[in-house]
Structure formats: C-alpha cells, structure tokens
C-alpha cells in the first residue's frame, strides 16, 4: 500500500495506467503525463473532477519541464502495440528518447522508477518464459522494449537510479475502450458479441496466451515500487495459459450465449503461437502471485462492458 507520496504515472490515461490511477489516487498526489495517443480523459474523469489527479497532456520527453518532484514514477507511456511500430519504425527511437528523458530526470530527482515492459521480449523462445532467457531479434516493438530495459539497467549502474521492470503478459480488463483494435482479444471478443458479431480468430484457435487481469498487474506494479536498489526485472503473468478456443468457451458460458468464432487462415509474420510466464522469481522476490482466475477476470469485464458496442 503506497500512501502520502508524490507519484507520476506516464500513460496514466491509458488502459493499465488508469487502473493504477484508480488504485493510487485516493491516498497519494498523482500526476499523469499522457500524450493521449490511445489514452482517454474518460478513464480518469472522476479523479480529474475531484481534483485528486492532475493531467499533463504532453509527451514523456517533456517530463523535465513539468515542475513535479516525484517519489515514484511509473513509466507506462509508450506506444502499446506491435503493429504501431511496424507501420512507423521511428516509434522505436521515440520511446527510446522518452525513456532517456525520464531516466535522466528520475536520476536527478532520486525518484524510484517502475518500468512497464512486455512478455513480447521473449518472442522466439519456448514457454515458460524465464527472466534470464536470451532475447531474440523478432520485431520493432520488442527491440524498443529490450532497448528501454537495457537503458534502465545502464542508468541504474551509471547513475544509481533504482528501477524495476515488469514484463506484462496478455493484460485484459476495464478501460480498454480507447485502445480500440489494439485492445486485448478477450475484450475485443466481448465487444464483438455485444455487437451481435462472431469473434474472429486467426488460425485454428489452439494458440495459447497467458491472460492476466489488470488488477493483478496493478498489484505487481505496486509491489515493484517497494524494491530498493539496483535494476531488476520480473514477469507478471499467471503462469497458466489457455487456448483461444478455451477462452471463447468461458466467454460463452459466462455470457450465456453460443459463440461460433469465425476462423481466418491468416496470421502475421512472426506470429506468436504460445506464451506463458514462469512466475517463480516474481513470487519469490516480489511476493507477487496473480489472484484472478480467468473466469473471475472475464466476469468483471462482461459486467464492465455490458451494452458497450465498440
Ligand atoms: N496491455 C497489455 O497486454 C500489455 C502487455 C505488455 C506490455 N504493455 C505495456 O504497458 C503499457 C501500458 O499499456 P496499455 O495496455 O495500458 O496501453 P494504452 O495504449 O492504453 O496505454 C499507453 C498510454 O500511453 C500513452 N502514450 C503513448 N506514448 C506516449 C508518449 N510518448 N508520451 C506520453 N504518453 C504516451 C497513450 O496515450 C496511452 O494512454 C505500455 O507501455 C504497453 O506497451 C501492455
């Protein structure tokens, strides 16, 4: 439980960031920096109205000019999906620039940094994914995330910055509306069913994902804030994976509808068939263990997205 602190959350108007704002806003002074690329004011509306949260509509690169002196900086403000980087390769250098500005600023202020990273960095490896695995060259998004992790470690060694990176697996939950086509498959399937359409699955549906509910990611981020000292990195997944077909069956049961997915024989180059976290290090060092079963997380989403036809 973090309280009475000054906190900056980059990407705090986005999906995961705004769930973190929900958890921290009541007992801390929270400043959100978000360039509103996929973020939405709506995600943090109640906190803005109550004056508990300040929103700075700027790029992370401007973090040095916003007049805050934070105890903690949660860095989630980076373009969040692989196709964005494939379409515009310069997004790679953009997030590296942002990270350098943020690490320099945090080193000067003595702020603790908690860095959002991704299970995508393991692409090309066989699950279960372990933190010490050798990372491969697979796509632009993962290169950007690997580079930012390495810079974090460099600032830790050179400048004494305390930074902890968390590799999120497949995160789903409330507040994904403004991510639109980049939202998690679970969320996109709920929207499709709400529209009366069949969810589209690329391939035969036997590919697997380690789906992790956003509430668990918020808890991993808060636990990471308690880590002192040099750079370290942790997985945040459940350690279990489900096929897309199994996920659709759970959705059908929970929504009480018969779902017939449309199977499309088209997969992206470097398509990832299976993901699953090894969570032993996160359990041992962070004390993190996902609390939400897939059924429970899905029920929360169905309730939240009820009637939304996005
Ligand atoms: N959702 C997942 O399954 C998942 C998995 C692995 C990693 N991540 C990472 O977690 C972080 C949050 O992702 P999310 O799912 O909440 O997506 P999101 O797109 O909702 O959140 C990203 C937020 O950052 C903002 N942003 C992007 N670039 C920025 C910049 N240069 N300056 C300021 N703000 C910027 C966006 O407007 C958005 O509000 C991202 O870094 C993402 O890559 C997410």
E strands, the chain, where? 6-10, 29-33, 53-56, 72-75, 112-118, 163-168, 170-172, 200-202, 208-209, 211-213, 232-236, 242-243, 262-264
pLDDT band at 169 (very low <50, low <70, confident <90, very high): very high
Q: Could you tell me which residues are beta bridge partners of residue 274?
A: 208
Q: What is the separation of C-alpha 189 from the centre of its chain, rounded to a whole number of angstroms?
A: 19
Evaluate whether 228 touches 163 at the Cβ level (below 8 Å). Answer: no
**Residue 143 clears pLDDT 90, i.e. is over it:** yes
End-to-end CA distance of the chain: 34
Polymer length in residues for the chain: 310
| Residue 259 phi, psi dihedral angles, 5° rounding | -110, 125
Q: pLDDT tens digits for 1-18?
A: 899 999 999 999 999 999
Reply yes or no on whether the pLDDT at 266 is more than 90: no
Q: Assess contact for 20 and 9: CB atoms under 8 A.
A: yes
State the average pLDDT over residues 196-213.
97
- Measured in Å, residue 156 CA sits from the centre of ligand 1 at 23
- Structure tokens, 264: 């499309």
* Ligand 1 midpoint to CA 256 (Å): 32
Each domain of the chain, given as residue ranges in start order, spans 6-171+212-237+278-291, 173-208+241-275+295-304
> Residue 1 has what pLDDT?
87
Whether residue 165 is predicted with pLDDT greater than 90 in this model: the reply is: yes
pLDDT (tens digit per residue) in 85-126:
999 999 999 999 999 999 999 999 999 999 999 999 999 999
6-171+212-237+278-291 matches 173-208+241-275+295-304 in fold: no
pLDDT grade, residue 268 (50/70/90)? confident
Nearest residue by C-alpha to atom 2 in ligand 1: 171
Cβ burial 242-281 (10 Å sphere, 16+ → b, else e):
bbbeebbebbbebbeeeeebeeeeeeeeeebeebbbbbeb
What are the tens digits of pLDDT across the range 279-291? 999 999 999 999 9
Kindly report the average pLDDT of the chain as a whole number.
97
Q: What is the dihedral of CA 166, 248, 266, 238, to 10 degrees?
A: 20
- Fold topology of 173-208+241-275+295-304: UDP-galactose 4-epimerase; domain 1 (3.90.25)
Which range has the worst mean pLDDT, 75-89, 189-203, 219-233, 257-271? Answer: 257-271
**For a substitution probing ligand 1, which of 11, 63, 241 has the most ligand atoms within 8 Å of its CB?**
11
Q: Tokens 């109640």 correspond to what residue? A: 46
> What residue ranges in 27-141 does DSSP mark as E strands?
29-33, 53-56, 72-75, 112-118
Q: What is the mean pLDDT of residues 204-218?
A: 98
* Residue 281 Cβ contacting ligand 1 at under 6 Å: no
173/300 Cα distance (integer angstroms): 7
User: Is 267 a residue whose pLDDT tops 80?
Assistant: no
Give the per-residue pLDDT at 287. 98
Tell me, rounded to whole angstroms, the distance of Cα 144 from its chain centroid: 15
C-beta of 156 in contact with ligand 1 (< 6 A): no
The pLDDT of 210-218, averaged and rounded, is 98
Contact 293, 239 (CB under 8 A): no
Residue 259 alpha carbon to ligand 1 centre in Å: 30
**What pTM value is reported for the model?**
0.98
Q: What percent of the chain has pLDDT over 90?
A: 96
Q: Compute the distance from residue 17 Cα to the ligand 1 centre, in Å.
A: 8
Give the sign of the dihedral formed by CA 232, CA 238, CA 241, CA 247.
negative
pLDDT value at position 255? 96
Answer whether residue 220 shows pLDDT above 80.
yes
- The set of long-range contacts for 197-200, using a CB threshold of 8 Å and a minimum separation of 24, is 198/259, 198/260, 198/261, 198/262, 199/248, 199/259, 199/261, 199/262, 200/261, 200/262, 200/264
Q: What is the CATH number of domain 6-171+212-237+278-291?
A: 3.40.50.720
């Amino acid at each position: 439980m973090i309280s009475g602190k000054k906190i900056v959350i980059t990407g705090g108007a986005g999906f995961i960031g705004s769930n973190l704002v929900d958890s921290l806003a009541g007992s801390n002074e929270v400043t959100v920096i978000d360039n509103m690329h996929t973020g939405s004011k709506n995600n943090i509306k109640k906190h803005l109205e109550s004056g508990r949260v300040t929103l700075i509509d700027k790029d992370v690169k401007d973090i040095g000019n916003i007049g805050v002196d934070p105890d903690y900086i949660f860095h989630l403000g980076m373009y969040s999906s692989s196709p964005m980087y494939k379409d515009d390769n310069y997004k790679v250098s953009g997030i590296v620039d942002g990270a350098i500005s943020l690490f320099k600023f945090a080193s000067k202020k003595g702020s603790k940094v908690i860095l959002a990273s991704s299970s995508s960095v393991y692409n090309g490896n066989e699950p279960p994914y372990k933190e010490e695995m050798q990372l491969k060259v697979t796509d632009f998004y993962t290169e950007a995330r690997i580079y930012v992790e390495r810079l974090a470690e460099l600032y830790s060694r050179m400048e004494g910055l305390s930074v902890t990176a968390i590799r999120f697996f497949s995160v789903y939950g409330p507040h994904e509306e403004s991510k639109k086509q980049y939202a998690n498959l679970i969320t996109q399937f709920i929207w499709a069913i709400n529209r009366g359409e069949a969810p589209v699955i690329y391939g035969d549906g036997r590919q697997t994902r380690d789906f992790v509910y956003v509430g668990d990611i918020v808890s991993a981020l808060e636990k990471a804030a308690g880590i002192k000292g040099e750079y370290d990195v942790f997985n945040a997944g459940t350690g279990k994976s489900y096929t897309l077909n199994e996920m659709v069956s759970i959705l059908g049961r929970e929504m009480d509808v018969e779902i017939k997915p449309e199977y499309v024989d088209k997969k992206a180059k470097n398509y990832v068939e299976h993901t699953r976290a090894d969570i032993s290090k996160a359990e041992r060092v962070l004390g993190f263990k996902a609390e939400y079963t897939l059924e429970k997380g899905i029920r929360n989403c169905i309730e939240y997205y009820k009637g939304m036809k996005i």
